[in-house]
């Protein structure tokens, strides 16, 4: 079960860190966000090092659907209500800037970059689409509305952004990673204010960026309360009608559509990690109804960090950690927000002001309805009797029959049947299984 991106793309390989080193900036995590941070710091002449626990892009990046867009669901109506027009406009502008930066970079890289319109549709809630259009009009953005998008399901319309993009993330990552100062198979075991202890050495650094998908340091930032992980599934279909644009349901449980070469990438079946959901069965049933002549060539799954309010956490890890930074909570839009994070964090470590930083402050209020849901899930799991417990914070693990893994419903850590770590925030294998 590998993604279409992983099939045939060879990423550059790097040595494991052996011994002790010093650097100005340490980046922990070799996914898209960490790589873009490293690329920007290198281009700025900053002394840096990146450490990755496994190999580059071996976590979430290899399983993305790789859409580059400033349209992150029906987010702008929500941002206007939660944060006001100034921060909502910041969010829109900085994500459009990220799209433009990809456009420039991909002009020099063979990575399947294609301009495509992006649409968010709804199957039943037209009023949500109307509110989003009104919000975008308030922000001065001219979105378009389509009453009957060309999809194999009934909808009440779709809101569209023109000239967004899609690409092959691993071919892009392979190009930007060349000549970077990277150490693979180098897991951080312990982190202090200015030093990281790894498997076979240490890194002393003035500033540290944590770009590990879900932050693994629990004593700062309360990320174990501020986030949960959402799992979703993808089928790569041959002989299925190609969409004319990128499409995604406004509901996290709905379907997404994009093309890649001769394939239709059909996404959906989503659910909170560790819970039950439609999974591949739901996608297979939909494909059989809608594309009866199609053949499944690829299938894979991924998961995303979901925040309390729909906006990412990018900046200081907490108020009390001035030299420790974080990029997380991309809410399913990791490609665009990785570029946003790299721009913001590069400015921060270089002590440059960035006008968009306020829109992503990690220590903004916790008082959101999702907080109660996250707390309930954690308490419920902690009280359950189970021999299989997550080493992150002790939650009871659930068996995932579809993927043959042990999954944590609290924070999304995942383990193989034998107990080896697959996904963080846990930092090690199960002690017994």
Per-residue pLDDT tens listing for the chain (433 residues): 799 999 988 899 999 999 999 999 999 999 999 999 999 999 999 999 999 999 999 999 999 999 999 999 999 999 999 999 999 999 999 999 999 999 999 999 999 999 999 999 999 999 999 999 999 999 999 999 999 999 999 999 999 999 999 999 999 999 999 999 999 999 999 998 899 999 999 999 999 999 999 998 888 889 999 999 999 999 999 999 999 999 999 998 899 999 999 999 999 999 999 888 899 999 999 999 999 999 999 999 999 999 999 999 999 999 999 999 999 999 999 999 999 999 999 999 999 999 999 999 999 989 888 989 888 888 888 877 777 888 888 888 988 888 888 988 888 899 888 888 888 888 888 875 4
- Vertex 4, ends 327 and 311: CA angle to 5°? 25
Kindly state the tokens that stand for 165: 């993009």
- Answer for the pair 235, 1: CB distance below 8 angstroms, yes or no: no
- Answer for the pair 158, 248: CB distance below 8 angstroms, yes or no: no
- Answer for the pair 59, 301: CB distance below 8 angstroms, yes or no: no
Rounded Cα gap, residues 121 and 322, in angstroms? 41
Kindly state the tokens that stand for 72: 């992150």
Question: Does residue 102 sit in helix, strand or coil?
Answer: helix
Kindly state the tokens that stand for 124: 């039943």
Which structural domains are found in the chain, ordered by start? 113-167+226-307 (3.30.9.10), 369-423 (2.102.10.10)
Rounded Cα gap, residues 38 and 241, in angstroms? 39
Kindly state the tokens that stand for 409: 């419903």
Chain Cα centroid distance, residue 381: 24
């Amino acid at each position: 079960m590998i993604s279409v991106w992983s099939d045939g793309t060879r990423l550059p390989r790097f040595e494991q860190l052996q011994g002790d080193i010093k650097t100005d900036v340490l980046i922990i995590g070799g996914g898209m966000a960490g790589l873009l941070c490293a690329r920007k710091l290198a281009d700025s002449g900053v002394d840096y090092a990146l450490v990755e626990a496994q190999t580059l892009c071996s976590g979430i990046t290899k399983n993305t659907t790789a859409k580059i867009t400033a349209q992150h669901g029906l987010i702008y109506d929500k941002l206007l209500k939660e944060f006001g027009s100034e921060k909502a406009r910041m969010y829109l502008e900085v994500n459009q800037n990220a799209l433009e930066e990809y456009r420039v970079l991909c002009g020099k890289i063979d990575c399947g970059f294609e301009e495509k319109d992006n649409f968010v549709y709804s199957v039943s809630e037209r009023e949500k689409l109307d509110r989003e259009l009104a919000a975008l009009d308030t922000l001065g953005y001219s979105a378009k509305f389509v009453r009957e998008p060309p999809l194999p399901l009934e909808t009440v319309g779709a809101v569209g952004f023109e000239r967004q993009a899609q690409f092959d993330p691993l071919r892009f990552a392979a190009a930007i990673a060349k000549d970077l100062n990277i150490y693979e198979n180098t897991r951080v075991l312990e982190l202090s204010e200015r030093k990281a202890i790894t498997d076979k050495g240490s890194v002393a650094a003035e500033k540290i960026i944590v770009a590990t998908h879900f932050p693994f340091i629990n004593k700062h930032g309360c990320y174990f309360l501020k986030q949960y992980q959402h799992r979703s599934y993808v089928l790569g279909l041959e002989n299925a009608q190609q969409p004319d644009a990128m499409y995604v349901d406004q509901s996290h449980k709905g379907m997404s559509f994009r093309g890649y070469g001769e394939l239709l990438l059909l996404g959906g079946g989503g659910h909170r990690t560790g819970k039950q959901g439609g999974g591949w069965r739901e996608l297979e049933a939909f494909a059989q109804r809608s594309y009866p002549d199609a053949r499944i060539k690829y299938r894979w799954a991924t998961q995303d960090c979901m925040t309390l309010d729909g906006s990412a956490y990018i900046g200081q890890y907490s108020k009390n950690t001035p030299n420790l930074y974080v990029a997380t909570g991309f809410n399913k839009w990791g490609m665009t927000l990785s570029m946003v994070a790299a721009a913001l964090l590069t400015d921060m470590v270089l002590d440059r002001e960035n006008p968009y930083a306020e829109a992503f402050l990690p220590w903004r209020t916790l008082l959101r309805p999702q907080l109660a849901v996250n707390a309930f899930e954690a308490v419920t799991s902690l009280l359950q009797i189970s021999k299989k417990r997550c080493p992150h914070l002790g939650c009871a693990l659930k068996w995932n029959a579809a993927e043959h893994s042990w999954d944590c419903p609290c924070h999304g850590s995942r383990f193989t049947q034998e107990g080896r770590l697959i996904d963080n925030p846990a930092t090690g294998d199960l002690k017994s299984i």
